[in-house]
Amino acid sequence: MKTIQTINDLQNFLYSNKEKTIGLVPTMGYLHEGHLALLNRARKENDLVVSSIFVNPAQFGPNEDLDRYPRDIEHDTELAAKAGVDVLFVPTVNEMYPFESGITIHAGELSTKLCGESRPGHFDGVLKVITKLFHLVQPTKAYFGQKDAQQLAIIETFVNAYNFPVQIERVSTVREADGLAKSSRNVFLSEKERAESVNIYKAITIATETWRESKDIQEALAKGKAFIEQNTSGKIDYLEALAYPNLQADLNDAEQILFATAVFFENARLIDNIIVDVKGV
């Protein structure tokens, strides 16, 4: 595995391998089993696997956890090598953003709900770094986890709307044995919060099962919220049901419904979701 820190070295290496298919797995590091699922899928489907580790400041707000975001590049490098990554791209902030162009990308309406409502500008920053990585790597396929369902929907819409020559691949959420979605931020949970956090997935499971039985969205969401409030010390940011991937509130013609939630604990904000195939109900 080659570890590359500069854009010039990355492009030189990829140019020498331009006839090969490339799978891209963008990450912010602190790799866990969820990331490894993306890397393993990319390894199976491509000649080359490129993974980036870059804690992107553009997607963090002024009061968010950029400085506290967990980092362990030595461990990440070891895991990436074991997963069969060919190139680990680890640029600095100055390498990725050497100057301020004044040109911005706006994620639009899809970014105004769910996580975007409480994190204004977050998805603009996601699209900024994804655009750069797509141009630099020119991947055949790029892999994203369904745990970040809103991010996935925005990237899919962006790629389709602007004809990026890349295929976006969805990879299912990877969970702990007790159901908690794998996340780099889980390390910030106290012992008590970690024990409570399993109830987030249970709550959205209750919501989806209620909807399957009654087809009453409001009843389903109310039961999910009540379960979180009764079984955790966390504060609900949202628990909503939207058509997927267009994230519209009108569910009448939806082929898939996203049941998604975000819950604040003292030092971590956890998200989780379930995507329901309406035709399968």
Which domains does the chain carry?
2-171 (3.40.50.620), 184-272 (3.30.1300.10)
* Cα–Cα distances in angstroms (integers) from residue 54 to residues 17, 26, 28, 67, in the given order: 23, 8, 5, 13
Q: Considering the chain, what percentage of its residues have pLDDT values greater than 70? A: 99
Q: What is the pTM of this model?
A: 0.94
- Average pLDDT of the segment spanning 87-115: 96
142 closest CA partner among 268, 16, 49: 49
Q: According to the annotation, is 93 in a ligand binding site?
A: no
Residue 177 has pLDDT above 90, yes or no: yes
Residue 156 has pLDDT above 90, yes or no: yes
Q: According to the annotation, is 108 in a ligand binding site?
A: no
- Rounded distance between C-alpha atoms, residue 49 and residue 88, angstroms: 9
Q: Judging by DSSP bridges, how do beta strands 256-264 and 235-243 pair with one another?
A: antiparallel
Q: What per-residue confidence (pLDDT) applies to 9?
A: 98
Q: Cα angle vertex 249, ends 248, 251, to 5°?
A: 95
Q: According to the annotation, is 230 in a ligand binding site?
A: no
Q: What per-residue confidence (pLDDT) applies to 279?
A: 79
pLDDT digits 0-9 by tens, 23-79:
999 999 999 999 999 999 999 999 999 999 999 999 998 878 898 899 999 999 999
Q: According to the annotation, is 96 in a ligand binding site?
A: no
pLDDT digits 0-9 by tens, 188-244:
999 999 999 999 999 999 999 999 999 999 999 999 999 999 999 999 999 999 999
- Rounded distance between C-alpha atoms, residue 11 and residue 244, angstroms: 35
- Rounded distance between C-alpha atoms, residue 223 and residue 67, angstroms: 36
Residue 280 has pLDDT above 70, yes or no: no
- Average pLDDT of the segment spanning 246-260: 95
Residue 281 has pLDDT above 80, yes or no: no
- Rounded distance between C-alpha atoms, residue 1 and residue 44, angstroms: 16
Give catalytic residue positions: 35
Q: What per-residue confidence (pLDDT) applies to 63?
A: 79
pLDDT digits 0-9 by tens, 113-129:
999 998 999 999 999 99
Q: According to the annotation, is 215 in a ligand binding site?
A: no
